[in-house]
Structure 1
Amino acid sequence: MENEEEKRKEKYESYVIVHNIAKRHNVGTLARSATAFGVTEFILVGKRDFNAFGSHGSTSHLRFRHFHTLSLAHSFLKERDCDICGVEITDNAIAVNEHPFTKSTAFLLGNEGTGLSDKECEICDFFIYIPHYGGGTASLNVTVAASIVLHHYGVWAGFAERSREGNKFLVAEKPANQMKRNFCTETAEAIAEERKVKKENAANGFFNEEAASSNLLDALFDS
């Protein structure tokens, strides 16, 4: 049993996928929860800028990755043998406290108002929901939901608890060359992909003069 738990601690990773969240200021709080619960990478799809309000500096301790489309994010995660878990109350959703996890998992949370879109559901391998025990609300804030889900995954995966000092957990030293940020830096591959998509859309007449001068990622945010 002990050997199995040690393997879990070394084997499993968690990811958070942020796509089409209506309230951009929620991303900073999501990043704070992701840092607290051992998330490996925070994946932004569409827009790469975000409001870091509520992160309390945690974005400096979190690895970010950006993709222009859900299909690109899906391919990246599948190359890493990672399940994609939609956090949504669907007919086949499993309660998060049943811990229906089997491997490294990326969690996709829905828009605050409308939940997961059909396109988002298509890339999910399974769905979980958070049981409610009171009758006063139909849903949770996306950041609260993320915290509950990520905590449950960390318990299942056997992530090591951080050391404490007084009534706080010890914060790691800020990584070298890391600053507070409100955007995800682009890799050479991502820049090349952006140029490719822009060229294809322009050839198809997707951009008018006004759109051509705007941020490409705004046009792709709902991809």
Structure 2
Amino acid sequence: MAVESLVVVHNVAKRHNVGMMARSAAAFGVSEMVLVGRRDFNAFGSHGSTSHLRFRHFHSLSRARLYLKEERNCDICGVEITDDAVSVNRHPFKRSTAFLLGNEGTGLSAKEIEICDFFVYIPQYGGGTASLNVTVAASIVLHHFGVWAGFAERKREGNKFSLAEKPLKLTKRNLCSESADSVKEDRRMRRENAAQDFFEADGSQTTANGLSELFIDPGS
């Protein structure tokens, strides 16, 4: 089975960074962006790329980890300078990988570090800054993973790369359209899990693993 890359976003301080990160994720073949904590984000800087990405939402890191490990069979890679971190240049990847990036300055929190299987860092060769913006770090790491995974280079048109068609029609509510089968499955799960409080007070739909699936309108 082909390997995939995912990006985990947990309460990034500057919300517009998520939209810019989405642009890099779309460029480097990321399959899914996993939002933990806040459901919404500012799509500034995405240039429409969010419509080409799948988003999932979790309320907690533990539920996100459960999804990534059990349903996606991913390693979770923290992008952080730790004692056992490996240079991303060495491509220490083994299978599909979800990348977790911390806030610029503070880096990954103790709870974020706990869910990671291994860590990579980005070597720097100049002394003018102690760290990189989270969107720049994401671009570098995702590019390295794409090289390691052998992702096919996108066709070029003139001095740019060709765009894919938007995969789904976006609704006015910024949620992905649901198939009849998915609606039936959601209703079944609501009946089975109602007593376990798996559904949010605002009435939004989640699965038994506590996730919501959504697409964000780049115009929002």
- Fold shared by both chains (TM-score > 0.5): yes
**Structure 2 partner of 1:24:** 15
Q: In structure 2, how many angstroms separate the alpha carbons of the residues matched to 1:180 and 1:33?
A: 25
1:128 matched to 2:120:
yes
**Match of residue 167, structure 2, among 157, 162, 175:** 175
**Match of residue 3, structure 2, among 12, 34, 42:** 12
Gaps of 5+ in 1: 1-9, 197-223
TM-aligned CA deviation for residue 178 of structure 1:
2.9
**Structure 2 partner of 1:138:** 130
SS in 2 for 1:92: coil
TM-aligned CA deviation for residue 20 of structure 1:
1.7
Contact 1:99–1:152 (CA under 8 A) maintained in structure 2: yes
Q: Higher helix fraction: Structure 1 or Structure 2?
A: 1
Over 3 Å counting, the alpha-carbon distance change for 1:102 and 1:167 in structure 2 is: same
Q: TM-score, normalising length from structure 1?
A: 0.78
Name the amino acid aligned to 1:66: H
Over 3 Å counting, the alpha-carbon distance change for 1:183 and 1:32 in structure 2 is: farther
Deviation beyond 2 Å, 4+ runs, structure 1 = 178-196
> Over residues 15-58 of structure 1, what are the superposed CA-to-partner deviations in whole Å (9 max), with x where a residue is unaligned?
00000210000000000000000001000001110000000000
The 5 Å alignment of 1:212-223 reads none
> Over residues 119-147 of structure 1, what are the superposed CA-to-partner deviations in whole Å (9 max), with x where a residue is unaligned?
00000000000000000000000000000
Name the amino acid aligned to 2:145: Y
Aligned length in residues: 187
TM-aligned CA deviation for residue 155 of structure 1:
0.3
SS in 1 for 2:200: helix
TM-aligned CA deviation for residue 176 of structure 1:
3.2
**Structure 1 partner of 2:208:** none
**Structure 2 partner of 1:195:** 200
Please report the RMSD computed on the Cα atoms of aligned residues, expressed in angstroms.
Answer: 2.5
**Structure 1 partner of 2:106:** 114
The percentage of counterpart residues that share the same residue type is 74
SS in 1 for 2:198: helix
